[in-house]
């Protein structure tokens, strides 16, 4: 477990990042920099006992433990300092860090930022080259506190993720926070590149509302271009069928289909021994299958129930039909890939674990003769 041998960990080894943000979005950005080798100092509010997510614990967790699993998920590789920025001594110590820092990550409401000395105008007087990244909730209402589930509701996600209008559902992770974190990472990296070239600092701001809207991609265009308002669709895809259909197998286990072409559909029917379904005019094209997807699901279901899931998945994969097991969390994190991505760290005497936040790998080629470079990435 860990990042030993990862070339990415040396890229930002001379970069100092300060993080006063709490909860998920801002700390996820800080962890990105920590994974890439930066020194990350997380400044937590001493008055409130630190980042609030320290207390967001499952019933299975020890109430007396210094950190929670939630807190641990986005706080790898950081130095933790409790400070009260409304006290002169702590403010002076923090300002000394700002003067040395390359990046600062904040997410405070304007009225709180003013009390804590975190307004961009003041920070620029301390360090003109500082790259300051800030996450706010709403671009047109900066004083409104933002919460992921509320943003999921207001930007259309919850209207699509349930199974019907009476059973709405939220995404099971704070996806809006994660989208905002990715956007802020990108903005900060561009600002650091600009600073390296010009010596100029920057203020980079991302709102949760705008980040959420970027994530609507094809669903947004479906409405913007055709007037189609997506309703609750569970696992289904509005444009493709059978894509997202869940089949139950003979052993009671479930798999999901991702059939995106007519050829794949014909192969699916071959595997399930459904020649009549393959030749039916109702399912001749993807558009036909989307229109008749309820009938199609009825045709596919009994055929899938004749097979145990491992055998059916093996046959589908051999035939080139995209499908996958519906895995539980323990199954998903038990794979070799997930185990390689698991990071372990002791925080305040407690063993903590999380999945790494960066999924990219980089290979850096030496200057000079291209023949000196590795034959392929990762070698």
Q: Report pLDDT digits (tens) over 102-123.
A: 999 999 999 999 999 999 999 9
* Residue 282 lies in domain: 243-326
* Closest by Cα among 361, 355, 32, 40 to 184: 32
Q: What is the pLDDT of residue 379?
A: 40
Residue 316 above 60 pLDDT?
yes
Judge contact between 83 and 90, C-beta under 8 A: yes
Q: How far apart are CA 344 and CA 356, in angstroms?
A: 10
Contact yes or no for 360/182 (Cβ under 8 A): no
73/127 same-domain check? yes
pTM, two decimals, is: 0.88
164, 236 Cβ separation under 8 angstroms: no
Query: Is residue 234 included in any domain, yes or no?
Result: no
255 and 106: one domain? no
Q: What is the chain's alpha carbon radius of gyration, rounded to the nearest angstrom? A: 25
Query: What's the pLDDT score for residue 20?
Result: 97
Residues 43 and 105 in one domain: yes
- The CATH number linked to 160 is 3.40.50.10540
In a domain, 235, yes or no: no
Parallel/antiparallel/unpaired status of strands 78-83 and 39-45: parallel
Distance CA 331, CA 60 (A): 19
Residue 75 within a domain: yes
CB atoms within 10 A of CB 175: 17
The pLDDT assigned to 86 comes to 95
Q: How do residues 201-217 score in pLDDT, each as one tens digit?
A: 999 999 999 999 999 99
Give catalytic residue positions.
Answer: 177
Q: Give yes or no: residues 149 and 189 share one domain.
A: yes
Report the alpha-carbon distance of residue 202 to residue 238 in Å, rounded: 41
Maximum separation of any 2 CA atoms in the chain, in Å = 79
178 and 249 within one domain: no
DSSP class of 237: -
| pLDDT of 371 | 59
- SS3 call for 103: strand
Boundary residue ending a domain (284, 303, 326): 326
Predicted confidence (pLDDT) at residue 268 exceeds the cutoff of 60: yes
């Amino acid at each position: 477990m860990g990042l030993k041998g990862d070339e990415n960990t040396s890229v930002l080894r001379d970069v100092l990042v300060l993080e006063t943000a709490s909860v998920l979005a801002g700390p996820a950005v800080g962890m990105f920099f920590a994974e890439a080798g930066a020194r990350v100092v997380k400044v937590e509010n001493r008055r409130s006992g630190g980042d609030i997510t320290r207390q967001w614990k499952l019933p299975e967790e020890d109430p007396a433990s210094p950190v929670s699993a939630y807190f641990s998920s986005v706080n790898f590789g950081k130095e933790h300092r409790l400070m009260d920025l409304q006290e002169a001594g702590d403010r002076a110590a923090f300002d000394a860090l700002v003067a040395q820092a390359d990046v600062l990550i904040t997410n405070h409401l304007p009225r709180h930022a003013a009390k804590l000395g975190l307004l961009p105008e003041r920070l620029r007087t301390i360090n003109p080259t500082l790259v300051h990244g800030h996450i706010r909730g709403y671009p047109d209402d900066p004083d409104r506190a933002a919460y992921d589930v509320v943003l999921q509701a207001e930007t259309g996600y919850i209207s699509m993720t349930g199974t019907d209008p009476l059973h709405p559902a939220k995404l099971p992770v704070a996806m809006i926070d994660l989208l905002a974190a990715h956007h802020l990472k990108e903005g900060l990296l561009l600002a650091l590149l600009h600073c390296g070239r010009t010596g100029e600092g920057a203020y980079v701001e991302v709102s949760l509302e705008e980040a959420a809207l970027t994530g609507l991609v094809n669903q947004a265009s479906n409405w913007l271009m055709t007037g189609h308002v997506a309703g609750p669709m569970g696992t289904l895809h509005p444009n493709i069928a059978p894509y997202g259909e869940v089949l139950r197998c003979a052993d009671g286990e479930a798999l999901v289909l991702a059939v995106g072409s007519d050829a794949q559909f014909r192969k699916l029917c071959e595997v399930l021994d459904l020649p009549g379904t393959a030749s039916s005019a109702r399912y001749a094209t993807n558009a036909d299958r989307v229109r008749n997807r309820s009938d199609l699901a009825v045709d596919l279901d009994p055929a899938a129930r004749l097979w145990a899931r491992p055998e059916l998945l093996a046959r589908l994969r051999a035939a080139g039909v995209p499908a996958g097991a519906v895995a539980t969390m323990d199954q998903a994190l038990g794979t070799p890939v997930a185990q390689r991505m698991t990071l372990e760290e002791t925080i305040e005497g407690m063993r903590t674990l999380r999945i790494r936040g960066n999924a990219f790998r980089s290979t850096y080629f030496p200057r000079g003769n291209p023949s000196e470079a590795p034959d392929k990435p990762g070698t």
